[in-house]
Structure 1
Amino acid sequence: MKNILLFVVSFLVFGHSRAAQVDTVAVFSVGMNKTIKTVVVLPEKQQARSVLYLLHGYSGNYSNWVNNAPQLKELVDRYGYAVVCPDGGFDSWYWDTKDQNYKYETFMIKELIPFIESKYKINADRAHRGITGLSMGGHGALYLAFRHQDLFASAGSTAGGVDIRPFPNNWNMKQRLGSYDANKSAWDEHTVMELTHLVQPGMLQLFIDCGTEDFFFGVNNKLHEKLDYLNISHHYLAMPGRHDWNYWSRSIDYQMAFFNQCFLTQSKTK
């Protein structure tokens, strides 16, 4: 199995300036009884057939990606698919929990996806949906993709917190799940590392990357090793970098090139 990223990112130089369309929409969540802001980036010169859901990290919001990685708009124009950045709350981890204010899995799966595909006429099938994100959002992307392979054909994570259990006192997770020592089963059920058994052969194209100086580098390496052990095909990329926007704004180039290849491959097999 080849786990090293096999594609090469091509940095094209355009002869003229192009500007993707950036919308900020309000999506009402019935489950949480609140409106959730979402950035939608659309290619300027063509109708998007595919969509990448791009999730922010802990303490972030819907505007983080478009503000901190400004080349995102150029990449959308280059590849011709839409990017959707929902607000995942300060510390949701994109889970459903007992707290009515934290039903973000339901929001993503049952409310956001139908809204986006209806409003923007994007193809409503798994072959044209991908999901990735950074840090908390990297965990959220893989968590949602593993649990909903009927909806996603490709998934990724950049610097993702792919195993939450080594960090039992961080990022408000015990407020959502209870303390780790008293609620181990809940933590196991809500961490990507313990959901790999859900991945069905050939169902997901996966790309995981992390900076070598990142505090999540260890758990990403362990996930890579576990996927290898289970013979789950995936691409894994380790680059110099810390847990910051210097790294994430570089990694998005590789992430979006990967999803472009996924969408092109899926389209050819349709």
Structure 2
Amino acid sequence: MIKHIVFSVFISVLLSFNQAHAARVDTVTTYSAAMKKNIKAVVVVPDNYSKDKIYPVVYLLHGAGDYYSGWIKKAPTVAITADLYQQIIVCPDGNSTSWYFDSPVNKDWKYETYVTKELIPFIDGHYQTIRDRKGRAITGLSMGGHGALYLAFKHQDLFGAAGSMSGGVDIRPFPKSWKIEQKLGSYAEYPENWEKNTVINMLHLLTPNALSLIIDCGTEDFFYKVNVNLHDKLVERNIPHDFIIRPGGHTWPYWENAVKYQMMYMSLYFNKKEN
């Protein structure tokens, strides 16, 4: 059953959580053989992280114009949720405007390959992770919301749950924005690249209940309409998902609130008995 939820409440448990517990924040450097360069990422592990236990992992993607440390600097709640839900959070660098594609027109942009084939193996090799889709999720904001759904739809063998906050889930209405045409070519010359690589056109990859989904967007956001369109198409295809709308725009106060629901949703997914 599709859940259409309007939230304006604060998760009070985060306020009451013992602040004496502080998640550990690592900055790691990974080498991308696909792009022949070093790329940084933030890795947040619970305060009581132990080598005697394995942890689920949430990959948390930043938006356009930002970088790997954006989430941890601008939304302190993220570190708290690592402790609260006993999960590792990984924030990759998406090079400001990658859109997490493997570019069909520029071989220097291979961020789909980086996240799925280089970063995940690095994290699994250096941290105590659940090395299975049942213990791995991905979400993000704006460009990162599109990237999270894009990567999860294409790599359901890697991710069991995916989310989006204020995601640019249909890039076609914005052909001159955020340097997308540098990665896909201009819409006028290469329409097939845009049609194939926009999330809203990728729903044929989904089957009901195969991927747990949560989508969140504010009613004053310039991406609100495309998110509603995505929700409607998911309903048409009978794809279960949580859909959250509430007052708010394309702002950090909105995302710091939204990420609490996303992390709670991922934790509930990780702890499902049938998962």
TM-score scaled by structure 2?
0.94
Aligned equivalent of 2:92, options 86, 99, 105: 86
Q: Which residue of 1 aligns with 2:74?
A: 68
- In 2: Cα distance, 1:219 partner to 1:33 partner: 35
Q: Identity over the aligned pairs, expressed in percent?
A: 50
Which ranges in structure 2 are unaligned for 5 or more consecutive residues?
none
Deviation at 1:6, TM superposition (A): 10
Aligned equivalent of 1:57, options 59, 63, 71: 63
Q: Which residue of 1 aligns with 2:4?
A: 4
| 1:27 lines up with 2:30 in the alignment | yes
- In 2: Cα distance, 1:10 partner to 1:228 partner: 31
- In 2: Cα distance, 1:73 partner to 1:165 partner: 34
SS of alignment partner, residue 4 of structure 1: strand
- Deviating above 4 A after TM superposition, structure 1's stretches of 4 or more consecutive aligned residues are 5-10
Which ranges in structure 1 are unaligned for 5 or more consecutive residues?
none
- In 2: Cα distance, 1:40 partner to 1:129 partner: 14
Deviation at 1:4, TM superposition (A): 2.4
- In 1: Cα distance, 2:128 partner to 2:83 partner: 17
Deviation at 1:17, TM superposition (A): 1.5
Deviation at 1:259, TM superposition (A): 0.5
Summarize the alignment of residues 1-270 of structure 1 with structure 2, pairs less than 5 Å apart.
Answer: 1-5=1-5, 9=11, 11-12=13-14, 13-15=16-18, 17-47=20-50, 48-97=54-103, 98-265=105-272, 268-269=273-274
- In 1: Cα distance, 2:179 partner to 2:196 partner: 17
Deviation at 1:169, TM superposition (A): 0.7
Equivalent residue pairs, number: 268
Kept in 1, the 8 Å contact 2:2–2:235? The answer is no
- In 2: Cα distance, 1:62 partner to 1:241 partner: 24
- In 2: Cα distance, 1:211 partner to 1:34 partner: 36
Q: CA RMSD in A?
A: 1.6
Distance 1:212 1:183, change over 3 A: same
- In 1: Cα distance, 2:19 partner to 2:253 partner: 26
Deviation at 1:167, TM superposition (A): 0.5
Deviation at 1:174, TM superposition (A): 1.1
- In 1: Cα distance, 2:177 partner to 2:88 partner: 33
- Give CA-to-partner distance per residue, 1:17-66, whole Å, 9 cap, x none: 11100000001000000000000000011445100000000011000000
Partner AA of 2:13 in structure 1? F
Deviation at 1:100, TM superposition (A): 2.6
TM-score scaled by structure 1?
0.95
Kept in 1, the 8 Å contact 2:219–2:248? The answer is yes
Partner AA of 1:11 in structure 2? V
Kept in 1, the 8 Å contact 2:6–2:245? The answer is no
Partner AA of 2:232 in structure 1? E
- In 1: Cα distance, 2:143 partner to 2:172 partner: 13
- In 1: Cα distance, 2:40 partner to 2:184 partner: 25
